[in-house]
Structure 1
């Protein structure tokens, strides 16, 4: 009886405690739940990725040609590439390359590519290359899209621009550099002119008599043979000028005597009057003041023969009157032979023509002289030098 009563009391106590505990705990839990509902955060909707068109176009790829498209993509982008040959013909090759040379996708002899996805690990430029090896054209429809990884790259500019930068590059090269000079003396012998002189040489001094026109033999000629140039190791000579003087009739002697007096008056009697005129010492010479008119010509041998045969002929110079004088200084006219030709057109009587010809001969004398020739030789050595040059580099950029 006592045991039964005790058990009943224990059961009642336990039930009382359990009910109280549950009641307390319920109050606590209910209070917490109420607090959580008051301070619960407002959840905003997250970024929803979607595909953005980069380009969509139809491209004609000619036979044996290729076409390239170039676009930029942001880090984390997913590239979606679609291709379709409109006439269901094969295209030799499609390749997608990450600039400059990293191939990310390629396909050969294909008619279509559907939703090819490439993940962009870092911002860069991609080249989409279409190659057609066929002789006929290919009509290709291309669509390129990008799915940005975050909202911050939605407005990324996929256009590609080309920039040029300049760098200064130093290039090494090897060159010979003069570090000094070496001077030596070599014995030599040279030929030098020690003196020169100009001498007058008489070529002709004579009286030529010709008949009148009525007698028929009214033409005559005198040869002027100039001495040839001479050249030896130690002596040279050459004609530098020659001159002639012609006087007709008795008054020719008087005129020549006056020329002699003019030379003496100028202290030039080491020359004849004609020599002084040829050398430039006298500007003019006296001529006869009266007499018979004579025609004068200077020709070569061929035309002298025509003249004597009374045939048409050519001449170097001509004159007419009681007398004449002339000099020649050009190199071409100071060599060989010439002819003084005379034509007496007077109707009667004999005519005497006083003819004088001189040449000026320049003679030069040489001798050997010893001397030391200075020879300066540069001393060089190889040295490495550097020189700058500007290098232009062109590169593509995107996202600007």
Structure 2
């Protein structure tokens, strides 16, 4: 009877030992770089026992060793260790386990790792511990309220706009003088005569920023003549102007000068009989003298559009030894007068009508995770 009991006991012990023989999952040497981590993933069956061994071959410490059931259930962790022997972890349900090795030092760590499993019975010894990675998308919905145009309503508004309603051309004779210029031998007199000229000032009503009426000089012309023959030619030029007067406009006795101011075409002929005069039109700009025009003539005419505002001087010089001269100077400016008015008009506008509506917007997130090799969705 004792012999039978002994045999039965030995048989059960041998059977138990055989059923608990560990199965190697991995045995490898890994290098954990400075300030980094290495991670291994393996799958385990329910009831498995995990046997874990690690040693740093140089005996140096590893900052952290952790074993967790994926995704975040920590089963074991150790800090500042150089060796762990035969650590056993019981697996309560089929799952993927994560083996994490973290090195916080500035030098690498070389670790020998051995991971084994002991299945609960012989039928589970061939369980595949390889993991596979699965990518899944999850969709959630974000509800929000938005104002949406549902229709339009028409409306007519009365508005005003500023419009240019009139443009007029004005001829302004701003200088008309006969100047006496003495001879070289005139006692106590100068051979030079100077006169000041001011161009018509531009005007803006009510102001320059937003005017409703403006008068601006765009160009001006002059005629200068010495003696009776020059004056006769001036009158003849006015008489020859028989066409274009209605377009150009005219000044009494100065239509040829007005025509020159606006068209740039002179109808005056040169006079060769009479005394001459040296003339110079000049002004001061930025502290320096600028010459507008000059000449030595019996009569002359010209047009200017580069200087239209300000003051300038007319200087006359008589090179005659004994006779003084009378110099006739006439100037005409072309001014453009513009007039604006507020004009009323009607404008049809479409007014959008809104209402609040609820919208659902999909939010798609993608996640990738490890599963056991026999995982089925």
- 1:310-330 CA deviation, whole Å, 9 max, x = no partner? xxx4216333343241232x7
**Structure 2: how far apart are the matches of 1:187 and 1:242?**
41
Q: What SS does structure 2 have at the residue aligned with 1:259?
A: helix
The aligned runs of 1:49-88 (5 Å cut-off) are 50-53=23-26, 55-61=28-34, 65-73=35-43, 75=45, 79-84=50-55
Distance 1:342 1:385 in 2: 85
2:218 equivalent among 223, 241, 251? 241
Please give the alpha-carbon distance, in whole angstroms, between the structure 2 residues aligned to 1:116 and 1:319.
114
State the partner residue of 1:380: 354
1:229 is aligned to 203
The reply on whether 1:393 has 2:376 as its aligned counterpart is: no
Rg: which structure is higher?
Answer: 1
Measured in 2, the distance between the counterparts of 1:206 and 1:127 equals 111
* Aligned equivalent of 1:292, options 271, 276, 294: 276
Contact preservation (8 Å) 1:96, 1:129? no
**C-alpha separation between the residues in 2 aligned to 1:317 and 1:207?**
20
- Return 76-85 or 163-172, whichever deviates more: 163-172
Q: For the aligned residues, what is the CA RMSD? A: 4.4
Which ranges in structure 1 are unaligned for 5 or more consecutive residues? Answer: 1-45, 304-312
What are the equivalent positions in structure 2 for 1:296-375 lying under 5 Å apart?
296-300=280-284, 313-315=288-290, 317-322=292-297, 323-328=300-305, 333-335=307-309, 337-344=310-317, 346=319, 348=321, 349-365=323-339
Q: Deviations over 1:10-53 (max 9, x none)?
A: xxxxxxxxxxxxxxxxxxxxxxxxxxxxxxxxxxxx9x864143
Equivalent residues of 1:92, 1:109 under 8 A apart: yes
Could you tell me the TM-score, scaled by structure 1's length?
A: 0.64
Number of the residue aligned with 1:128? 100
Seen in structure 2, the aligned counterparts of structure 1 residues 101 and 262 have a Cα distance that, compared at 3 Å, is: farther
The structure with the greater share of residues assigned to strand is 2
Contact 2:67 2:74 (8 Å CA) reproduced:
yes
Q: 1:73 to 1:326 in 2, by over 3 A?
A: same
**1: distance between equivalents of 2:359 and 2:156?**
34
Q: Runs of 5+ in structure 2 lacking a partner?
A: 1-18
The residue number in structure 2 matching 1:100 is 71
Name the structure 1 match of 2:249: 270
1-structure distance, mates of 2:278, 2:175? 19
8 Å CA contact retained: 1:241, 1:278:
no
Identify if the C-alpha distance between structure 1 residues 106 and 235 changes in structure 2 by more than 3 Å, giving closer, same or farther: closer
Is this contact kept in 2: 1:174–1:385, CA < 8 A?
yes
Cα distance, 1:380 vs structure 2:
0.7
For residue 244 of structure 1, report the CA deviation from its aligned partner.
2.3
Compute the TM-score of the two structures, normalised by the length of structure 2.
0.67
**1:292-346 Cα distance to aligned partner (Å, 9 max, x none):** 363423314886xxxxxxxxx4216333343241232x7xx433x2214335374
Q: Which residue in 2 is equivalent to 1:209?
A: 180
The alpha-carbon deviation at position 392 of structure 1 amounts to 6.4
Q: Which has the higher helix share?
A: 1
Q: Measured at CA, do residues 262 and 119 of structure 1 come closer, stay the same or move farther in structure 2, by a change above 3 Å?
A: farther
